[in-house]
Structure 1
Amino acid sequence: MRSFRLPLVLGLIPLLILILGTLVPRPFVSPAVDRQPSREILLLHNPIHTDIALRLDEDLRSEFAELANAGFAIGRPDAVYLVIGWGGRSFYIETPTWGDVKPMPVLRALTVDRSVMHVDLTADIPRNLPQVRSLRLSETGYRQMVKAIKASFLQKEGRVQSVPDAAYGDNDLFFEANGRFNALLGCNTWTAAMLREGGLRTGWWTPLPQLLDLSLTLHGSSSPLP
């Protein structure tokens, strides 16, 4: 029996860390910020990745006007949402669909890779889709979150840097980002950090979309997904 105890304990440790990372709130004490919700943002997710969708208005177009210098059509009048995510350069760029998964990008995601920002323009996004969650921020929290998102873009000589020949379609682009990526501190922990900048509470460590979503429900940030 003793020969089975060590593998059992070692197997339970990661599970315990994941549970605690979801249950323990971050920040531990609810932030003292303006809590009057006046801005809606959307949290978009698939089984492994999360994005933040911001409703486009003239103020937001102005905030991200520098993306236009790299060829991103932020001023496109028929676009309703700006969708932004952060991730590992190799896997993010080279895996637009599950059918495009390749061993080397997966290996880099599991070790250490450079990071990129992905920006996309979309039409209106229905709230009743299972991969969409509505969150509400105060005006102050929204501004702080937008500022933190902008700070995630790598700049050289005061300009954001697009990744040449990297896009999924006609409405999106990839940009160089600050920070290094690995699966333990990846896209979903970045999303959680941006939401905390907006005044929401998340779990302490939520490397999976499902854990981030659950932590938002547990710590009172909004209603759960339908």
Structure 2
Amino acid sequence: MKLLRRAFKGFLCLLLIPVAYLIIALVLTLTTVNSGGQSENTKRTIYLSTNGVHLDVILSKEDVNAMVLKDLRYYKKENYLSFGWGDENFYINTPTWGDLTFSNAFKAMFLKSSTLLHVTRYKQKQSDWVEIKVTDSELQKLNTYLLAAFKRDKAGNKQILPNKGYTPIDDFYKAEGSYTCFNTCNSWVNTAFKNSGLKACLWTPFDFGLMGKYD
């Protein structure tokens, strides 16, 4: 009987961990930072998009800093660049949700691992993108954040993974940082907004947190 009680208490303790994570995540998601009034100098536009789980931030090519554009593959008729960040193993081995395995999800959330930047190119604006007006200063800070996310080789060049994109219009590049349950693809985009002085969540692992700030 004592053994059963101990086992039950251990089970409850394990159950409390994800419950506590979820509650804390929701509270911090609902807490807004940089919520001051919008500046009158918002002459630039960026975009936010989600596939229902994963956030990307999109910039017009003309608003992407030359240093960010350097070494990126893009073509003249492609006018927008989308940036997402995530776990390398998860990105490469889970091109669709049908490919998701418990092993890949567990490794991404709990084990230290290498990361990638996912850059997708578009000829025109997509109808499901959320439009966000920004100032020149906010745009500059966002470009600085994006630039710092790329891992460089010894010569200082960005490192593309050849032939690893899902489609002809996207590529993966080696990135800085490690993906965990506290530093997710969505918290990466949220941090980009926070660091740029844009309205954001205090912290969030979810896509709906940041999207909800711009409904």
TM-score range, shorter chain: 0.7 to 0.9
Partner of 2:134: 137
Q: Distance in 2 between matches of 1:155 and 1:84?
A: 17
Partner of 1:179: 177
Q: Distance in 1 between matches of 2:55 and 2:109?
A: 17
Say which of 28, 31, 45 aligns to 1:24: 31
Partner of 1:108: 107
Question: Shift of residue 208 of structure 1?
Answer: 0.7
Counterpart amino acid of 1:63? M
Verify the 8 A CA contact 2:68 2:146 in the aligned structure 1: no
Say which of 38, 45, 52 aligns to 1:47: 52
Verify the 8 A CA contact 1:35 1:137 in the aligned structure 2: no
Verify the 8 A CA contact 1:55 1:81 in the aligned structure 2: yes
More off after superposition, 93-102 vs 82-91: 93-102
Aligned pair count reads 203
C-alpha RMSD of the superposition? 2.7
The Cα offsets for residues 53-93 of structure 1, whole Å up to 9 and x where unpaired, read as: 11112x6373334224xxx1x2x121121011110111112
Say which of 49, 63, 66 aligns to 1:62: 66
Question: Shift of residue 165 of structure 1?
Answer: 3.5
Partner of 1:78: 77
Whichever structure has more strand as a proportion of its residues is 1
Runs of 4+ in structure 1 displaced over 4 angstroms?
Answer: 6-9
Counterpart amino acid of 1:13? A
Question: Shift of residue 210 of structure 1?
Answer: 1.0
Q: Distance in 2 between matches of 1:162 and 1:80?
A: 20
Q: Distance in 1 between matches of 2:102 and 2:26?
A: 29
The Cα offsets for residues 100-151 of structure 1, whole Å up to 9 and x where unpaired, read as: 2234322211212211111111121234x2xx21111101110110111011
Q: Distance in 2 between matches of 1:42 and 1:193?
A: 15
Partner of 1:219: none
Q: Distance in 2 between matches of 1:14 and 1:104?
A: 20
Unaligned runs of 5+ in 2: 1-7
Question: Shift of residue 199 of structure 1?
Answer: 1.7
Counterpart amino acid of 2:137? T
Counterpart amino acid of 2:52? P
Partner of 1:126: 126
